[in-house]
């Protein structure tokens, strides 16, 4: 019987920017635990290499930390490939302060001052 690729079965190879390796490892572990007939092979490399392989049609899906440039999109469009971008996360910071600190609101200028030593 021929195996059919669907969103929850089959095999795919994806490219992952190395800064997302730990996040994707956790996501893929969960996904493949839930969907036993799905196999995701990952190529973890730097952003430039991942995008290069995607542009050469060696990877059908990539996880990177930016949108494709206008030139990259135009190149794909010329090949009748319409890229789809999905936002999966935002960067964030957490600040741990002393229990004695009664200030519950920090503003950008205050944070910038802390990091610049003021």
The helix-helix angle for 70-78 and 47-55 (nearest 10°) equals: 20
| 35/46 Cα distance (integer angstroms) | 28
Question: What pLDDT was estimated at residue 101?
Answer: 83
Question: How many structural domains is the chain composed of?
Answer: 1
Residue 49 within a domain: yes
pTM of the model: 0.71
Question: Does any domain span residue 36?
Answer: yes
CATH number, domain containing residue 24? 3.40.190.10
Quote the domain boundaries for residue 51. 10-78
Task: Map tokens 């469009």 to a residue.
Answer: 77
In a domain, 93, yes or no: no
Residues 49-108 have pLDDT tens digits of: 999 999 999 999 999 999 999 999 999 999 999 999 998 877 777 888 888 888 778 888
Residue 86 inside a domain? The answer is no
CB-CB neighbours of 74 under 10 Å: 11
Structural domain contains residue 57? yes
* Distance separating alpha carbons of residues 84 and 68, to the nearest angstrom: 10
**1 pLDDT higher than 60:** no
- Say what the pLDDT of residue 36 is: 94
């Amino acid at each position: 019987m021929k195996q059919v690729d669907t969103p929850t079965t089959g095999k795919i190879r994806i490219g992952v920017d190395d800064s997302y390796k730990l996040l994707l490892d956790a996501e893929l572990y969960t996904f493949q635990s839930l969907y036993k007939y799905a196999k995701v092979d990952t190529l973890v490399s730097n952003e430039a290499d991942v995008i290069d392989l995607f542009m050469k049609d060696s990877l059908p899906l990539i996880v990177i930390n930016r949108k494709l440039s206008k030139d990259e999109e135009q190149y794909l469009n010329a090949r009748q490939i319409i890229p789809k971008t999905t936002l999966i996360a935002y960067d964030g910071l957490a600040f741990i302060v002393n229990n004695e600190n009664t200030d519950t609101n920090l503003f950008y200028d205050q944070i910038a001052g802390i990091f610049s030593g003021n």
